[in-house]
């Protein structure tokens, strides 16, 4: 077990905004950061791999995991279940590793309640029109489905108070660097870095105020 515990870093945002792409890019440049792999009941899309993109499970398997309280959070998104295994998160945190989660806004709210030190980032599209175009090219969806999804995004945008940061995903490299900067800054927060500085004897193991100096 590490003396510095890892924390959850949630990247949420509308479906189609590019959360997964941004998160995959951040993983490449940020050390000691693990990508959380969710469990879902939806079917794999072409090119998606079991255990890499998701753990694809049956509805019954998922419901059993919920009953056994194995999930740190879970939600129904577009009629499918999605969830994050609690044991996976806690194992990484105890090793001192941060875990980045690409999850929906309901999951983000649950993680915030469970882990008070979580960082919550909301990834924004440059415009709703840009989001519509991305969704259309990805899903090859019908107009009705797209309208429903865009309507959901507009509703979701009214409940963003739980997030600490907003990042706009216009240019991928910029969004990646913004998320990386947030993680790097948080790792320097006094309460996170003090145990390491104390263990190395760089700062004393007791706190004081300027009045006492
Ligand atoms: P997709 O089916 O497009 O991969 O994901 C649909 C939505 O489910 C996305 O907004 C994605 O962030 C969200 N999602 C993926 N995994 C999880 C999870 O473990 N928990 C929650 N709450 N949402 C998830």
The ligand 1 atom nearest the CA atom of 12: 12
- pLDDT per residue as tens digits for the range 94-146: 999 999 999 999 999 999 999 999 999 999 999 989 998 888 887 665 566 78
Answer whether 0.85 is exceeded by the pTM. yes
Query: Rounded CA gap, 99 and 7, in Å?
Result: 6
CA 36 to ligand 1 center in whole angstroms? 11
Closest C-alpha among 134, 152, 123 to residue 10: 123
pLDDT at 185 over 90: yes
Rg (CA), the chain: 19
The ligand 1 atom nearest the CA atom of 106: 22
**What residue spans of the chain are helical by DSSP H?**
19-29, 59-67, 86-94, 105-114, 128-139, 143-156, 172-187, 190-199
pLDDT at 152 over 90: no
Q: Is the CB of 54 under 6 A from ligand 1?
A: no
Helix axes 19-29, 172-187, angle to 10 degrees: 60
Q: Is the CB of 106 under 6 A from ligand 1?
A: yes
């Amino acid at each position: 077990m590490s003396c510095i515990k890892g924390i959850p870093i949630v990247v949420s945002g509308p479906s189609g905004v590019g959360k997964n792409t941004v998160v995959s890019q951040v993983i490449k440049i940020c050390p000691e950061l693990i990508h959380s792999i969710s469990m879902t009941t939806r079917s794999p899309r072409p090119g998606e791999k079991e255990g890499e993109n998701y753990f694809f499970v049956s509805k019954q398997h998922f419901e059993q995991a919920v009953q056994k309280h194995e999930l740190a959070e879970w939600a129904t998104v577009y009629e499918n279940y999605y969830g994050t295994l609690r044991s996976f998160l806690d194992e990484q945190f105890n090793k001192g590793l941060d875990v980045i989660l690409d999850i929906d806004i309901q999951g983000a709210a649950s993680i915030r309640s469970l882990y008070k030190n979580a960082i919550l980032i909301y990834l924004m599209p440059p415009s709703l029109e840009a989001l519509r175009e991305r969704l259309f090219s990805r899903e090859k969806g019908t107009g009705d489905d797209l309208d429903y999804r865009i309507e959901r995004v507009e509703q979701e945008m009214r409940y963003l108070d739980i997030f600490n940061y907003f990042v706009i995903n216009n240019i991928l490299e910029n969004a990646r660097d913004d998320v990386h900067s947030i993680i790097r800054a948080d790792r320097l927060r006094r309460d996170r870095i003090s145990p390491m500085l104390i263990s190395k004897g760089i700062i004393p193991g007791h706190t004081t105020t300027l009045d006492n100096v």
